[in-house]
Amino acid sequence: MTLLRRHMGRRVAAVGVAVALLVLGLAAPAYAAVPTITSMLPTSPAPSCEATITGANYQLNGGPLSTVTFTPGGAGTLVSTDADTQAEVGLPALAASTPHTVHVHSTGGTGGDSANFAFSTGAAATCPGVPAFSPASGTVGSTVTLTGSFGQSPTSVRFNTTLATPSAASASSVTVTVPTGATTGPIHVYTGAGQKTSTTSFTVVPVPAPTITSFTPTFGPTGTSVKITGTNFSGTAGGANFTTTGVTFNNVTATFVVNSATQITATVPSTATTGPIKVTTPGGSATSTTNFTVSKTHSRSITLKLKQSGKASGVVSVGDGFTACTASVPVKIQRKSSGGWKGAGSTTTSATGSYSKKTKGKPGKYRAIAPKVDLNNGVDVCVKAKSATRTIKK
């Protein structure tokens, strides 16, 4: 065999192998995941009503679902597959008060829940009717009213795939707040008998996320009033008002007042520790890039001895032994006049907290002040101390 023939033979063989592999690849079925069931709402729907089945692989990996069956009972009606994790199904005329196992079927196979669902009797329950709702759109946190013939008071509402609990409900009306995480889609209303889906979608209007640009002061003890500056703390989106729903200091909930869209006044809570400030609105959360330092306060006292010559002396003491609040701290000597307390001298304490200062010795009432001092970048606060008054007589 010539060299050319051997070369051509190898080329033909290689092409044949490639074609065979391609054919095998095309013929091999794509991997399809088996659908699963994790829950059903309501948990005991009435025969012939609708229910929502929650699980996985309903649209993507294993989907779409083809049928839903009940054992015993037969096939249900697949009303819609709302998401890869959620499907609406109409129940067949199942036997009353009999446990039934639910199965979901797709090209990926058949999945079933290991738990049984004991359905209510058909005579005792009325399936809910299709809900109408108003307004047609809103932000997370806004209020929506649903109306319809529900047969009984609804127990829950689902905005597309996100559940919410009604704030008020009757057999003909439901009031509910759009929950966090809600997305645009139909609204489902649930009673103990079953569920029903709106024919139109509720539009969730996005709320702009808040930001924190600064806060002041940057440190202080619990109870300190802090002004937080940023954006989107309140406003209007899609015709609905929104506002801040929470403020925390290092994950501890604080009381607050929204002054404007760009400013909040919050009070450092009693159990707060040093850490970031977080502001939460229906549009999301914003966390400060720097920490608020929760200071430790150190109570102090100061004594004053006063001689007729005008010499003032005394000692600054601290209640918890934090000597940094007594050593080398400023002391002001003040004399009372007709216009109020005026400076009569100032000095600094020794390492042991004692001080001494010669004043002019003018007659009158005197006092000593140890002003508030912030140490260690605000971590420690030495509280202001004021002595009892002493008098230099004429």
Instruction: Evaluate if residue 211 carries a pLDDT over 60.
Output: yes
d(CA 105, CA 53): 13
Residue 189 pLDDT class (50, 70, 90 cuts): very high
Residues 6+ apart with CB under 8 A from 245: 141, 280, 281, 282
Where in the sequence of the chain do the CATH 2.60.40.10 domains occur? 36-124, 132-204, 297-392
Residues 304-349 have pLDDT tens digits of 999 999 999 999 999 999 999 999 999 999 999 988 999 999 999 9
Instruction: Evaluate if residue 8 carries a pLDDT over 80.
Output: no
Q: How far is CA 357 from the centre of its chain?
A: 57
How does strand 354-358 pair with strand 99-106? unpaired
Determine which of 1-5, 89-93, 104-108, 381-385 has the lowest per-residue pLDDT on average.
Answer: 1-5
Overall CATH class of domain 132-204: mainly beta
d(CA 72, CA 267): 60
Backbone torsion region of residue 185, taken as left when φ is above 0, otherwise alpha when ψ lies between -120 and 50, otherwise beta: left
Q: Is residue 115 classed as helix, strand or coil in its secondary structure?
A: coil
Mean pLDDT of the chain: 89
Instruction: Evaluate if residue 279 carries a pLDDT over 70.
Output: yes
Instruction: Evaluate if residue 59 carries a pLDDT over 90.
Output: no
**What CATH number belongs to 36-124?**
2.60.40.10
pTM score: 0.60
Hey, what CATH topology would domain 297-392 get?
Immunoglobulin-like (2.60.40)
Mean predicted confidence (pLDDT) in 154-180: 96
DSSP conformation letters of 344-375 = EEEEE--TTSEEEEE----SEEEEEEE--EEE
Under a CB-based contact definition with an 8 Å cutoff, are residues 302 and 315 in contact? yes
Instruction: Evaluate if residue 61 carries a pLDDT over 60.
Output: yes
Instruction: Evaluate if residue 96 carries a pLDDT over 90.
Output: no
Residues 6+ apart with CB under 8 A from 19: none
Residues 6+ apart with CB under 8 A from 324: 375, 380, 382
Residues 128-147 have pLDDT tens digits of 999 999 999 988 888 999 99
